[in-house]
Structure 1
C-alpha cells in the first residue's frame, strides 16, 4: 500500500475514533436525536474530512441504516440501546467505526458485541479464512447468552467503496475469503436478544446513486447534481432541500438510478448492540485504524 493511501486511512481512522467517542457522550435521556446527528456530522466537516455515509443512529431492535429525518422530533429515552455508526473519508479512503451506548441495564449485551470485535481482531493474520473470524465473533456473543445477527456482515473498504470484498461474517461459516496482507475491511459484530436476523422496515432515510441513467424529473436532476461529489457513497434525505423530494426520490429508486437503504431491524421489543473497527491487514496481524 502506498504511503499516501495508508496515511489517508490512518488519518480518517483517527478522526473517526475521536469524533465517535466524543459524540457518543451526547446520547443521554431527553437529548435530541436530530441535534446529535447534525452536530457529529458537522464536526467531521469542520475537521476538514468528509462523511463516508450519513451518521447511522439506530435504536433498540433497529440494527442499522437509521439516521435523523428532516425535522426529526425524537429524543432518547431511559432504556434505549443506541448504535452510533460513523464513516469518515479522506480522498475516498474510509474509516468505518461504531459504538453502542446503553441508557438502560444492558451492559452484558454491549459487552457481547465489544468482546466479539476484539476476538475477531486478534484472529486476523494472512492465510486465515473470513469464516474463522466469524466463528470467533459467534463464540463470544453466544457464550454471553445472546445471538449474533447472522445476515449482517463486515465488509471490505476501498477508495469511494463502502461495501466490497471481503465479507466478514458474524457467524462461523467454515470457509470464506482467505485474508491477505494489505486488505482493508470493517468488522462489525451485532449481538441481539431477538431472533438473530434482521428484516427491512418501511422507514428509509439513506440512499446512494448506482447508475447514470437519464432523468426526466427536474427535481430528480437537481438531486443528482447535489450528490455528484458523493461518487456513489450514500447520502441522507435530510441533506436535500428540494421541493417534491418525496416524489423524486422514489422515482429515482424505481428507475434504478438510486439504491435505498431501509432501516434493518430484529423483532419488535428486542435489543441489538454493535461495535465496529476498520483494520488493515499486515504481515503478522492487523493495524486498527479506528482505535
Structure 2
C-alpha cells in the first residue's frame, strides 16, 4: 500500500550493515526499548475504546504518549513516532488518523484496529491490535465480526511460528490464506509484512498476505524468497469478511512520508513551512497531518506531494461497506534459532466464531508447534503526564498563497 523508502546515499553500506546486526547488544537494546514503549502505549489506547469516544482523540492520545515516553531517552539521538497512531474502524483498512473535521465517534459493535510505531535512534517497533466496542450484554460477539477476529488472530499466530530461517515467504502466505478460508474470510489485497532496518520501515521483500490475482504458479519463484536470520520483521496480518478487494475512500490521506531521494526548490511559503517541519520533526518516518503546526503547513502538503517530496498512505476500505476487517501486527526478531516476539500480543476481544481450523491440516499442525516467546519482560516505564481527550487538533482558517 505504500512506496518503498530507500536509504539516503550518505549512509555507507558498511555502517548500515553494522547498525543492523542483532548480535550487537546496543542495537538489541534500542529495539527492545522501542518495543517497551509500544507495549506500554498500545494497551493504554485500547483501554480508552468505548461507545461515544472520538477516533481523533484516540490517535492524538497515542501520539502524545509516544512523544512523552521518548522525550527523555537517548536525548542526543532521533527518537519518537515511527508510525503515527491510526484507528481504522470496521471496513477501513489502515492509516485512518483524522483531523477534527473528519472525526468519527465509536459506537457499540464497531471493530477497531489500532496501529502505531516507535523508534529509538532509528530502531523501530510497530504493532496493531483489533478490539470491538463492547456491547452491554456481557455475551461474546458472534457472527462475521467474530469470524474475522478469530481468523486474523490464528493467521497471525501461525505466521509468527513460521517466520524462521529457511521458510519461504509463499509458505507463510499460503497458511494465512488457508486459515482465512476456514473462517470464510479473505486476506486483504495490498497488505503485507516487511523486514525493517534502522531508519527503514520497508527494507526488503514483502511477505504478502495474499497472492496477486494475476500471479501464475510458474512465476511464483521469481517473487518468492527464504526468510533469513538476523532480520527484524513487522508481521502484519489483515483479513476481511468480503472478497479482500479494496477501494479508495472519500478521504484525502492523513499519513505521509518524506522521500529522501527527491529534492526540489519550493516556492510557496506554506510548502516551505511544511517541508521544514517534516524534516525537523519526522525525518524519514511517516507522520500524520495532525502533527503539523497548523493549517498553513497542512496546505503545503499538496505542493510537497506534487513535487514528489513526500508519498501518501491512502485510507483504503473493503469493497463492500458491509464487510469488516481485522488486523494483528507485531515486531518479530528472526534469529538463527527462530522467531522472538519483540512486541507482545494483547488480550483478544470476547468473540465466539461458528468456525474452527480442522484437525490434521497444515494450519492446525503449525499452530500445534510451541508458542513464540517474548524477547524479555518489558521494562517498567516512568508515568507521563498525558490526559486523554485534552489536546484537540482543531482546524484553523489561513490565507492561501500561490506558486
TM-score normalized by the length of structure 2: 0.69
Deviations 1:56-100 (A, max 9, x none): 111111111110214554210122111101111111111111001
The 8 Å contact of residues 129 and 179 in structure 1, kept in 2 or not, is answered as: yes
The 8 Å contact of residues 34 and 71 in structure 1, kept in 2 or not, is answered as: no
Structure-2 separation of matches of 1:259 and 1:79: 34
Q: Does 1:208 align with 2:257?
A: yes
Q: Which residue of 1 aligns with 2:288?
A: 236
Structure 1, unpaired ranges of 5+: none
- Cα RMSD between the aligned structures? 1.8
Structure-1 separation of matches of 2:330 and 2:299: 37
Q: Which residue of 2 aligns with 1:37?
A: 59
Q: Which residue of 2 aligns with 1:221?
A: 272
Q: Which residue of 2 aligns with 1:188?
A: 236
Aligned residue for 1:190, secondary structure, equals strand
The 8 Å contact of residues 92 and 159 in structure 1, kept in 2 or not, is answered as: yes
Greater shift in the superposed pair: 271-280 or 17-26:
17-26
1:219 is displaced (CA, Å) by 1.0
Aligned residue for 1:166, secondary structure, equals coil
1:171 is displaced (CA, Å) by 2.8
Q: Does 1:15 align with 2:54?
A: no
Structure number with the higher strand fraction is 1
Greater radius of gyration (CA): 2
Structure-2 separation of matches of 1:243 and 1:190: 33
Q: Which residue of 1 aligns with 2:115?
A: 85
1:260 is displaced (CA, Å) by 1.4
The 8 Å contact of residues 38 and 343 in structure 2, kept in 1 or not, is answered as: yes
Q: 4+ residue runs of structure 1 moved beyond 3 angstroms?
A: 70-73, 172-175, 242-247
Query: Residues 73 and 266 of structure 1: is their aligned pair in 2 closer, same or farther, counting only changes over 3 Å?
Result: closer
1:53 is displaced (CA, Å) by 1.9
What are the within-5 Å matches in structure 2 for residues 57-206 of structure 1? Answer: 57-103=87-133, 105=141, 106-171=145-210, 175=221, 176-203=224-251, 204-206=253-255
1:103 is displaced (CA, Å) by 2.4
Query: Residues 31 and 243 of structure 1: is their aligned pair in 2 closer, same or farther, counting only changes over 3 Å?
Result: closer
Aligned residue for 1:67, secondary structure, equals coil
Deviations 1:113-168 (A, max 9, x none): 11111101111221111111111211222111111113211112111111221301
The 8 Å contact of residues 83 and 126 in structure 2, kept in 1 or not, is answered as: no
